[in-house]
Structure 1
Amino acid sequence: SYQQKIREYDNRLEQIDTYFPIVKELLPIAEQCREVGFTEELTRRIVSLQSVEFKGRLYSKEHKEKFRTEHSTATVERNPQEKGKFRLCIDGIPILEWFKMKFQEIKEKLGVIHTQKEENTPKRGLRM
């Protein structure tokens, strides 16, 4: 019956949680990998705790921007700040910091100097 099937699935999930707790810890990393643009295959390798070399563009929803890399390595590391948690790293740097660094590089290339004054002025868009 339908109810029995659900009980079987729940039991199976409990067994996975009990015997493979790392699966639960790595699921958010798998979701993050897909969100930033890794293929299913690369995501599978990354959450298998392999170092994965890649080139291409990764999407940052914080910056609403894709950042290009010609040669980088994705890894998963234990998060020293949060026991039992992992974090996705690019070139040994947590991905959120990597995105900030890439964003900074782009701003410097464009010659944008970030000052306190700019931050406080409201953005009005393009004016002619």
Structure 2
Amino acid sequence: MGMGSALGTLCGQSYGAKQYHMLGIHMQRAMLVLLLASVPFACIWANAGYTLVFLGQDPEIAAEAGSYARYMIPSIFAYALLQCHIRFLQAQNNVLPMMFSAGITTLLHLLSCWILIFKSGLGNKGAALANAISY
């Protein structure tokens, strides 16, 4: 979400001015705004299958894509929060937590994909849920 890029500017200014209390305030506001902005996207994704059929796609493919999109809805909210945390830490030149969490998340994503796609038999739905978990 590009809306999180404003947080980088605001937090960078607060950090440079040594107004450290404002970092948290900007972070909390950005999290609220991005979570609220995610609601319309969730509604769009919830109706993606119908939209694809309306646009002339094959009904079977549209139904499968719509199902995948519905299972991806939790990832919209998680991604919004993730972007806030990334901008917050980048503004403070604190990149080690992001590096460690990205490495651990990559390893856990492989495991969650294997479990949710193959072991549970969820297939595409498991792939969408694994993405949501990894964010």
Q: Judge same fold: TM > 0.5, yes or no.
A: no
Greater share of residues in strand: 1
**Which structure: larger Rg?**
1
Greater share of residues in helix: 2
